[in-house]
Amino acid sequence: MILEVEKGHDTWTEHMFFDLYEMKTLFWACTVQLTLSIQYPFELVIILQNGAIPLLEHLYVTIEQEQYISKPYSKKPEPDIQLCERDIRQMANATRLQTLVLRHLALSHLIILLNSLNMPLLKKLTLVDIFDETLENLDEFRRAVGYNHLPVLKHLYFLIRFPGNLNEILHTSLITYGNIWPFNNLTKSMN
């Protein structure tokens, strides 16, 4: 099934947040695998609403408008809706997910999502073009993908981008960990 939305984001208004509550409930009862492109990270919560896609096991998402520094691709104002761990825990259900692929997301938003979603069956996590302007979130990222939070995770693939001026500091911090990332259940080779 291909679901195409035309001009869906040309109509952002200052009341967009309230318009989200008026959206019809999403319900795709037989969907097991879903690949989609969304405009903003908060739209993931709509996809993962409790009961919206009850059999979803494999989710592949590209975020189109995510940027660390606000430089919108279009001239239209971006909605000011922030990810909130408490709200995500109440609204979203990812308990059946076994595979999650996220592309183009700020590391801080990724950490909020990972800490908020209960994914006890997640076996494979792929993170592409995750970006951050600092190295302050690395330990929190390590905890978010560690055994205590994702107990059955077997495969973790990630590409995190940092500014070039942090390369030496990053290299030093990796040496501190003995050239492996200190994940309790995973190792990463440094090639």
- Digit-by-digit pLDDT tens for the chain (191 residues) are 344 444 444 444 555 545 555 556 678 889 999 999 998 888 888 889 888 899 999 999 999 876 544 444 445 555 555 677 878 888 888 999 999 999 999 999 999 999 999 999 999 999 999 999 888 888 899 889 988 899 999 999 988 888 888 888 877 776 665 555 545 444 344 43
User: Residue 151 has what pLDDT?
Assistant: 93
Q: How far is CA 174 from CA 107, 134, 136, 138, in A?
A: 18, 15, 14, 11
For residue 31, what pLDDT is reported? 92
Q: 160 by DSSP, 3-state: which? A: strand
44-50, long-range: CB < 8 A, 24+ apart? 44/92, 44/113, 45/83, 45/87, 45/88, 45/91, 45/92, 46/20, 48/91, 48/92, 48/93, 48/94, 48/117, 49/25, 49/91, 49/92, 49/93, 50/91, 50/92, 50/93
Query: Which residues, including other chains, have CB under 8 Å from residue 190's CB and lie 6 or more apart?
Result: 174, 179, 180
Confidence (pLDDT) at 176 = 65
Q: Please tell me the predicted confidence (pLDDT) of residue 70.
A: 45
Q: Which two tokens stand for residue 11?
A: 């109509």
Tally DSSP H helices, then E strands, for the chain: 6, 5
**Rounded to an integer, what distance in angstroms lies between the CA atom of residue 31 and that of residue 50?**
14
Task: Give the predicted TM-score (pTM) of the model.
Answer: 0.75
